[in-house]
Structure 1
């Protein structure tokens, strides 16, 4: 299954429910999942990291659907067709 198919399946199953909530609610759930990911990383729990990454990605895709954002195009433009890593302030 490719990226657009996943995004569309999430839209079909969850879009109506997401519209009944709000963008701030969806964002709050994303931050909750990001916190759970941080805890899994802190514990170095590989299985939990995988699960929480999936939860974070799901929430990002739900937000993308909510705003009709073309995140696939933006990812390609920003990270495949160019390389912004040269501008990152990486730790030494």
Structure 2
């Protein structure tokens, strides 16, 4: 199953709930999940990192569905076909 199919399956299963919840609730849950991911990374707990990355991705896909955004195409365009890494402030 590719990412577009996963997003579609999530939409079929959860869109009604997401629509009732609203964008601010979905965003708040995303922030909460990112915080939990940060804690897992701080602890270097790989099992928890896997769990929290899954939750973060789920919320990102839920928000993409909520706003009807073709995130997969944009992801490919921006990061696979393009290369924004030249703008990243990385240590040398």
TM-score, normalised on structure 1? 0.98
For 1:3 and 1:33, the matched residues in 2 are separated by: 20
| 1:6-60 Cα deviation digits (max 9, x unpaired) | 0110000000000001101000000000000000000000000000000000000
User: 1:88, CA displacement in angstroms?
Assistant: 0.5
Residue 27 in structure 1 maps to residue 27 in structure 2:
yes
Q: Which residue of 2 aligns with 1:44?
A: 44
The unaligned stretches of length 5 or more in structure 1 are: none
Matches within 5 A, 1:6-85: 6-85=6-85
RMSD across aligned positions (CA): 0.6
The unaligned stretches of length 5 or more in structure 2 are: none
User: 1:74, CA displacement in angstroms?
Assistant: 0.5
Residues paired across the two proteins, number? 92
Secondary structure class of the residue paired with 2:48:
helix
